[in-house]
Amino acid sequence: MIKRVLSLNAMDKIIRETGLRVADDAKEALADILQEKAKELALTAKRYAEHAGRRTITAKDIQLATKDQE
């Protein structure tokens, strides 16, 4: 199991925007999926930054990583 860094409260707020109630397991599932996706994006963005000779990931790296994963 991965260490969760995204709060279940935040997941509750996101899901409640659908207008429905939220089961606890739904909040946990969304947090786990979003966290794993974020990690994948961060690793792809890291490659872009390193390719550019930088040690800092920029917003542009994240945007490129997002498009790369589509």
Q: What does pTM read for this prediction?
A: 0.83
Question: What whole-number distance in Å separates Cα of residue 6 and Cα of residue 35?
Answer: 7
Residue of 70 and 56 predicted with greater confidence: 56
pLDDT digits (tens, 9 = 90+) for 38-49: 999 999 999 999
Give the whole-angstrom CA distance, residue 38 versus residue 16.
21
